[in-house]
Structure 1
Amino acid sequence: MTEQVMAAIDGSPFSEGVCDSAAWASQALDAPLTFLHVVDNHPQTAEADLSGNLGLGAREHLLEELASLDERRAKVAQEHGRLMLKAAKDRASASGVDDLHCRQRNGTLVETLLELEDEIRLLVIGKRGESAQQASEHLGSNLERVVRGLHRPILMVPESFTPPTRVMIAFDGSKTTRKGVELLARSPLFKGIACHVVMVGADTGDNRTQLEWALDSLKGAGHEAQGEIRAGEVEETLRAYQKDHAIEMVVMGAYGHSRIRHLLVGSTTTSVLRRTSLPVLLLR
């Protein structure tokens, strides 16, 4: 099957942002767009919690009622999902996307995405799902598990999405972030978008050489490109640069051992993703 933009939607406030950003990506990449909704039918309640010390007949009757209730819940969840998928498809179609598909699966989101990984060119997912707490700095646990398990680019989006005109990549000269620069340079997703390259660390000769390579790669591909080497704490430095230059999307490499690549392993990464109000493209 042709690799596609896959957008995971649910009943969270982030679904509209997911829909709009996925439509943008589908058109920019000239790739099919599939909306995915996963119904998690895990039992809501353990039987011993409700049966207690009832007599055998009453207990069996209660378990029958619980089974019937679970079945009704599953049907409602599936119908709810179908309505959400239709709404997402209609919204994307109205924005000009033609090659549209919807899929509904039973199971968990993480397991489903891992099964479909070979079909995914780009995954679009909200910062939190409908079952997550809605605190502004809360990060959905599904997102963390998906990032750790899926070896595909992942676009994490806020509640609303506007196509970016300025994108920033956190760069450290590593293999992962060099691939990120090359992706920025060649991907139709970023055609016509100004690219900013930021290195966090000392202004050494080696770092200056790495930065010049990144800027030359982007300019050679026709991008407007600029960058800086800034000293300081990684998260604060990146956030300050975003504010100074009105950055509208962040690109980060996922996993590794250097200061920037470590972001998706420890607490700094979680903090970056929690606090940002921007779309973040995570690369593997």
Structure 2
Amino acid sequence: MSNLKPDSVIACLDCPDHVQAVLKASMWAATRLQVPIGLLHSVPSLQQKAAVNYSGCLNIDDENTLLEQFTNKEHLSNCELKAQGKLLLHQATTYCEQQRQKLKTYTLHRHENLSESIDYVDDKAQLIVIGHHVTCKSTLSRLIRVSLCPILVTHAPFSPPTTALFAFDNSPTCHKMLNWLCKTPLIRALTVHIVMVGKENSENCDALREAYARLKQAGIKSKKALLDCRDVTAALNYYQTENDIGLLMSGAFGQSRLRELLQGSDTEKLLVSTQTPYLLFPKA
């Protein structure tokens, strides 16, 4: 019987360099959403038994010696892989409890790869949090592309944001994300900069103005900007840096596959270039 709780924040612990950042980001999100945190660890593929270095990923000393013993082995048996995962989940639970936040946590130890694990949770979760560097063979962009749930990608360390940049392109996915942002408590306390990159014509100005008005009507402190620039990624990165914005938000892979093939994916470029947490909303 599954212990997956609907509407949870799911913390993916499959990024050794980002475990603490993922937990901090998950606690930040769960506090605002007032939901439990599901601590998810996937046992690596049986064909990929190389030891993964989780030693030192959390500041808990009691069991680090055992984690180091796992790390020092070039390969782990199936039983050792499972034991390593259970130990990591126990440490993550203890870490969350030590933060003294009144958040409920539970564990999900999946005996499958991360892609299959995300497929298992994403139609029931409210948010998935994942580190920027994953250990599975699938790339981060492939995991995000097929997800049905909003995903927060974080670098290490994680700093709770006070401002956010919403990259608005007037697409169906962006309008769906706009509806979600107007309702979710996740960004309620943040100042949201809604930014559109495109020609300064009446169509874009009207679309941006209407989206900005929606955020204001929802009680969200907002600012708007229209950037006339060819390079979407460069324009957004520059604006975010200049305004010291702590969270990037956009639809995920909203372009057609043909345009991605010809021009490259803006989502892919932003995933590579941004140094802040990045909240992606599934394609409509």
TM-score (norm 2): 0.81
Amino acid across the alignment from 2:132: K
Gaps of 5+ in 2: 50-72
Q: Which residue of 2 aligns with 1:63?
A: none
Higher relative helix content: 1
Aligned counterparts of 2:75 and 2:241: Cα–Cα separation in 1: 50
Cα deviation, residue 257, structure 1: 2.9
CA RMSD of aligned residues (A): 2.5
**In structure 2, which of residues 91, 97, 107 is the aligned counterpart of residue 87 of structure 1?**
91
Q: 1:240 to 1:200 in 2, by over 3 A?
A: same
Q: Identical aligned pairs, as a percentage?
A: 30
Q: Which residue of 2 aligns with 1:53?
A: none
Partner SS state of residue 14, structure 1: helix
Structure 1 stretch 172-181 or stretch 243-252: which is displaced more? Answer: 172-181
Q: 1:277 to 1:115 in 2, by over 3 A?
A: same
Q: Which residue of 1 aligns with 2:63?
A: none
Amino acid across the alignment from 1:213: E
Q: Which residue of 2 aligns with 1:160?
A: 157
Q: 1:258 to 1:217 in 2, by over 3 A?
A: farther
Aligned counterparts of 1:279 and 1:251: Cα–Cα separation in 2: 9
Matched, 1:178 2:175: yes
Alignment of 1:117-132 (within 5 A): 117-130=122-135
Partner SS state of residue 10, structure 1: coil
Aligned counterparts of 1:10 and 1:172: Cα–Cα separation in 2: 32
Q: Which residue of 1 aligns with 2:24?
A: 20
CA contact (8 A) 1:113 1:150 kept: yes
Aligned counterparts of 1:72 and 1:267: Cα–Cα separation in 2: 37
User: Aligned residue pairs: how many?
Assistant: 251
Matched, 1:194 2:198: no
Cα deviation, residue 214, structure 1: 1.4
Aligned counterparts of 1:267 and 1:222: Cα–Cα separation in 2: 32
**In structure 1, which of residues 197, 208, 216 is the aligned counterpart of residue 205 of structure 2?**
208
Cα deviation, residue 130, structure 1: 4.0
Aligned counterparts of 1:268 and 1:71: Cα–Cα separation in 2: 38
Amino acid across the alignment from 2:281: L
Q: Which residue of 2 aligns with 1:75?
A: 79
Alignment of 1:241-252 (within 5 A): 241-252=239-250
CA contact (8 A) 1:41 1:74 kept: no
Q: 1:12 to 1:188 in 2, by over 3 A?
A: same
Q: Write out per-residue CA displacement over residues 207-247 of structure 1, whole angstroms, 9 at most, x where no aligned residue.
A: 11111111111111212111111111100000011011111
Aligned counterparts of 1:72 and 1:239: Cα–Cα separation in 2: 41
Q: Which residue of 2 aligns with 1:38?
A: 42
Gaps of 5+ in 1: 46-68, 132-139
Partner SS state of residue 6, structure 1: strand
Matched, 1:229 2:226: yes
Aligned counterparts of 1:226 and 1:100: Cα–Cα separation in 2: 35
TM-score (norm 1): 0.81
Q: Write out per-residue CA displacement over residues 93-132 of structure 1, whole angstroms, 9 at most, x where no aligned residue.
A: 233143110111111110122123332111111111246x
**In structure 2, which of residues 146, 165, 187 is the aligned counterpart of residue 149 of structure 1?**
146
Q: Which residue of 2 aligns with 1:59?
A: none
CA contact (8 A) 1:250 1:279 kept: yes
CA contact (8 A) 1:38 1:108 kept: yes
Select the structure of larger CA radius of gyration: 1
CA contact (8 A) 2:14 2:114 kept: no
